[in-house]
């Protein structure tokens, strides 16, 4: 703390002013969460989206409960030849002509079955679970990698910055959806084999890793800009004059000041991640069948849209509600802790 | 200006090379089993795999493999191993469809983005502004393959208001029918981007309206319309147009995978989607490479255009 209150002192020892002039959000790290929470609580958009998020997350977490205690069927269990009692009559889950049972409103097959006789409600809950797990891991990877690269490039500048920035340029000049598809197709059959770690092709970790990596640019870019201007701030100067090492400056001075940016970026990145996961899985380059996810469920649903529209409408509506809530929350949080839109500015004037 | 163009083109060639290495790395370097097996598709025989290994030089050094990939992609000999289709021929077949979709969607995006952005910026925080903001958030949140699929069925097959999908070329059905079949998919794509563009333009136009040169223009007694359109808008449009140019290139390069699929347009993007579903590597590789090239080249064109319009950039 003493470092921060030291007088500014003389300009840095010969270091020229940085080229990038991104403004830095005020370092109020301690109050960030409280300010965000207060903003969410006080706006109806914030409250509504938080409620939606909690509902979706809770129902996905409860998937095994529903599967084991209510529906009595797993997400991958076929009931092709089974019969259930419906209005007192024994009914085929999948009829002789191959038409699956519609919504029963009962414990079993609450939303009906798919062509393989799998319980749609169970698959929807597990699909949400898979989508959320992937998105959570992917968002974490994006934030970690993005912070790492942005911080290193902005702090050390010079050739390190050049290498990282050119790398990001190249990553960014490939359309992200094409990049995701290419990676998904390349890893779907053989998985990833790193010698010590071997991830099979149908693992949920593969789409998480792919989406996590391809979005790095969106975090690294703005954080690089913000770090560039943070490192010229008087408190960094002060720490340096007291003999603090680079590691210590990064840990104690720079990193805490990136909090605002990360908190502003996190919900938006999360929302994008959920969208990409759904899109890639929809196309067959994400979650591999028979595993369910919102994307694969919509893809399966569209095939039977004529006979069973609810199989498309429900997973899509949940997916849209999830992404919309995250975007709205992102808006509320940004307005509360970054009212002058500095993170957005750093995102924009980056070269 | 000539110097700038040469420098920009040189860096474009470098990026093109780097992008091709990236695509190569995705399919050849990521350790995950035998690349020949991956290339062969879902149910290959041993003989096929061996033939592919020879053909693509997977038993040779990486540099040879890279050269093989580039050669095969561009000499028109690239064949899908799942259905023996010639990949480049198939892409060429899909290109007019994708081009048509790109044409209309980019037009909608541009007009819609400018109109809504101006509406927002001229009356910030008004009812219209807030409505547009809400539309923008909804636009970026709705999955296009979901809303598109529902649109094509409910407005198309069921209500018969719009065609349920498919493509009609100008020579087959005339300009009107061509446009009519592209209307819904173009709107589905633009819905997402109009929201983003209007937000970007709103911010930049508000900044521009506060600038000194706008005050000068007003002080000279120019009409409000002239000040906004001729002075502020011209400058404020630059960031939005940059984004637009890139999105046009992405759509052109097969990036409208989802829209093309749900509206059954059978263009480059739909071909990519089909190949993805069957894990057919050669087309995915070719389209990724070509899509990336389209974006890189478009990027260079935009930069050069700007340098022509705005001399400061040439420095």
Neighbours of A81 (CB within 10 A): 9
pTM of this structure: 0.87
The predicted structure's pLDDT at residue A351: 41
Beta bridge partners, A89, equal A86
Kindly report which listed range (A5-19, A202-216, B123-137) carries the lowest average pLDDT score. A5-19
Residue A8 has pLDDT above 50, yes or no: no
Could you tell me the pLDDT band of residue A16, with boundaries at 50, 70 and 90? very low
The predicted structure's pLDDT at residue A52: 95
Residue A140 has pLDDT above 90, yes or no: yes
- Answer yes or no: do A298 and B146 touch at CB < 8 A: yes
Find the angle CA(A200)-CA(A201)-CA(A206) to the nearest 5 degrees.
90
Q: Residue A185: its chain B contacts at CB < 8 A?
A: 275-276, 279-281, 284
Residue A6 has pLDDT above 50, yes or no: no
Give me the total of CB pairs closer than 8 Å, taking one residue from chain A and one from chain B. 155
The predicted structure's pLDDT at residue A12: 39
DSSP state of B312: G
Averaged over A28-54, what is the pLDDT?
86
Helix (H/G/I), strand (E/B), else coil: B10: helix
The residue whose two tokens read 């000999």 is B77
Give the C-alpha separation, B79 to B87, whole Å: 6
Give the C-alpha separation, A279 to A286, whole Å: 8
List A residues 282-301 in contact with B (Cβ-Cβ < 8 A): 282-285, 298-299
Per the structure block, which two tokens stand in for A94?
Answer: 């999948």
The residue whose two tokens read 């190949």 is B275
Q: Residue A319: its chain B contacts at CB < 8 A?
A: 143, 146
The predicted structure's pLDDT at residue A303: 86
Most confident of A108-112, A138-142, B41-45: A138-142
Give the C-alpha separation, A318 to A296, whole Å: 13
% of chain A exceeding 70 in pLDDT:
90
Nearest to B244 by CA among B204, B287, B213, B284: B204
Angle between helices B281-309 and B87-122 (to 10 degrees): 40
The predicted structure's pLDDT at residue A20: 41
Rounded to whole angstroms, what are the CA distances from A224 to A16, A161, A290, B217? Answer: 17, 9, 41, 37
Per the structure block, which two tokens stand in for A265?
Answer: 């970026």
Rounded to whole angstroms, what are the CA distances from B301 to A225, B9, B16, B164, B275? Answer: 26, 9, 14, 36, 30
Beta bridge partners, B295, equal none
- Answer yes or no: do B32 and A189 touch at CB < 8 A: yes
Minimum distance, in Å, between the CA of residue A182 and any CA atom of chain B: 6
Give the C-alpha separation, A128 to A112, whole Å: 17
The predicted structure's pLDDT at residue A92: 80
Partner B contacted by A185 (CB < 8 A)? yes
Query: With left for phi above 0 and alpha for psi between -120 and 50, is residue A308 left, alpha or beta?
Result: beta
Residue A10 has pLDDT above 60, yes or no: no
Angle between helices A29-42 and A44-61 (to 10 degrees): 100
Name the CA radius of gyration of chain B, rounded: 23
Whether the ipTM is more than 0.90: the answer is no
Give the C-alpha separation, B12 to A94, whole Å: 57
Query: Block means of pLDDT (10 residues each) for chain B, length 315 residues?
Result: 88 89 85 76 79 82 85 84 86 91 93 93 90 88 90 84 82 86 90 87 90 88 86 86 86 84 89 88 89 87 82 69
Give the C-alpha separation, A137 to A269, whole Å: 12
Domain boundaries, chain B: 2-75, 94-309
Superfamily of domain A40-350: MetI-like (1.10.3720.10)
User: How much helix, strand and coil, in percent to the nearest 5, is found in chain A?
Assistant: 65, 5, 30
Residue B86's φ and ψ, nearest 5 degrees, are: -80, 120
Minimum distance, in Å, between the CA of residue B199 and any CA atom of chain A: 12
Nearest to B68 by CA among B41, B109, B104, B36: B36
List B residues 154-193 in contact with A (Cβ-Cβ < 8 A): 157
Give the C-alpha separation, A33 to A20, whole Å: 28
The residue whose two tokens read 């633009």 is B190
Interface mutation target, options B29, B149, B245, B299, chain A, most CBs of A under 10 Å: B149
Nearest to B27 by CA among B44, B40, B46: B40
% of chain A exceeding 90 in pLDDT:
40
Q: In CATH, what class is B94-309?
A: mainly alpha
Q: Residue A328: its chain B contacts at CB < 8 A?
A: 137
Give the C-alpha separation, A211 to A288, whole Å: 15
Q: Residue A306: its chain B contacts at CB < 8 A?
A: 153, 157
Averaged over A134-143, what is the pLDDT?
96
């Amino acid at each position: 703390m003493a470092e921060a209150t030291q007088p500014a002192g003389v300009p840095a020892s010969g270091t020229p002013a940085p080229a990038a002039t991104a403004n830095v959000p005020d370092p109020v790290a301690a109050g960030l969460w409280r300010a965000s929470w207060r903003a969410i609580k006080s706006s109806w958009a914030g409250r509504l989206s938080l409620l939606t998020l909690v509902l979706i997350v809770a129902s996905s977490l409860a998937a095994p409960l529903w599967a084991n205690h209510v529906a009595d069927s797993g997400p991958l269990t076929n009931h092709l030849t089974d019969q259930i009692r419906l209005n007192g009559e024994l009914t085929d889950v999948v009829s002789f002509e191959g038409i699956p049972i519609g919504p029963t409103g009962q414990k079993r097959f609450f939303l009906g079955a798919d062509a393989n006789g799998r319980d749609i409600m169970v698959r929807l809950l597990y699909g949400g679970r898979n989508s959320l797990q992937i998105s959570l891991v992917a968002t974490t990877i994006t934030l970690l990698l993005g912070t790492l690269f942005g911080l290193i490039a902005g702090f050390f500048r010079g050739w390190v910055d050049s290498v990282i920035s050119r790398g990001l340029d190249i990553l960014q000049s490939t359309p992200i959806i094409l990049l995701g598809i290419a990676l998904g197709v390349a890893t779907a059959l053989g998985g990833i084999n790193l010698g010590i770690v071997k991830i099979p092709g149908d693992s949920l970790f593969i789409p998480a890793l792919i989406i996590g990596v391809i979005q790095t640019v969106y975090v690294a870019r703005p954080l690089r800009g913000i770090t560039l201007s943070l490192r010229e701030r008087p408190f960094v100067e002060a720490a340096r004059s007291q003999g603090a090492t680079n590691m210590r400056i990064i840990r104690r001075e720079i990193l805490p000041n990136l909090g605002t940016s990360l908190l502003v970026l996190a919900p938006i990145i999360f929302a994008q991640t959920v969208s990409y996961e759904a899109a890639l899985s929809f196309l067959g380059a994400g979650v591999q069948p028979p595993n369910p996810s919102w994307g694969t469920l919509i893809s399966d649903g569209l095939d039977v849209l004529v006979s069973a529209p609810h199989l498309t409408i429900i997973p899509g509506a949940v997916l849209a509600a999830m992404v919309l809530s995250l975007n709205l929350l992102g808006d509320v949080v940004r307005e509360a802790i970054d009212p002058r839109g500095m993170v957005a500015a750093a995102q924009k004037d980056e070269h | 200006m000539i110097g700038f163009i040469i420098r920009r083109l040189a860096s474009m060639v470098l990026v093109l090379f780097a992008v091709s290495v990236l695509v190569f790395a995705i399919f050849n370097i990521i350790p995950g089993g035998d690349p020949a097996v991956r290339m062969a598709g879902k149910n290959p025989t041993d003989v096929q795999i061996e033939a592919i290994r020879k053909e693509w030089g997977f038993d040779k050094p990486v540099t040879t493999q890279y050269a093989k990939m580039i050669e095969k992609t561009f000499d028109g000999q690239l064949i899908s191993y799942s259905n023996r289709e010639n990949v480049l021929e198939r892409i060429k077949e899909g290109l007019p469809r994708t081009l048509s979709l790109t044409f209309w969607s980019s037009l909608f995006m541009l007009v819609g983005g400018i109109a809504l952005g101006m509406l927002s910026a001229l009356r910030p925080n008004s009812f219209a502004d807030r409505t547009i903001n809400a539309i923008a958030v909804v636009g970026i949140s709705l999955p296009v393959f979901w809303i598109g699929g529902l649109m094509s069925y409910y407005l198309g097959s069921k209500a018969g208001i719009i065609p349920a999908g498919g493509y009609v070329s100008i020579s087959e059905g005339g300009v009107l029918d061509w446009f009519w079949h592209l209307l819904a998919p173009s709107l589905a794509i633009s819905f997402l981007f109009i929201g983003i563009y209007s937000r970007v333009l709103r911010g930049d136009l508000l900044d521009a309206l506060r600038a000194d040169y706008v005050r000068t223009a007003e002080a000279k007694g120019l009409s409000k319309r002239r000040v906004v359109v001729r002075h502020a808008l011209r400058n404020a449009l630059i960031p939005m147009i940059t984004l637009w140019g890139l999105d046009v290139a992405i759509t052109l390069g097969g990036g409208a995978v989802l829209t093309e699929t749900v509206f059954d347009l059978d263009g480059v993007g739909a071909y990519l989607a089909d190949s993805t579903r069957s894990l057919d590597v050669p087309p995915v590789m070719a389209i990724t490479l070509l899509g990336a090239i389209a974006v890189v080249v478009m990027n260079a064109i935009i930069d050069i255009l700007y340098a022509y319009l705005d001399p400061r950039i040439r420095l």
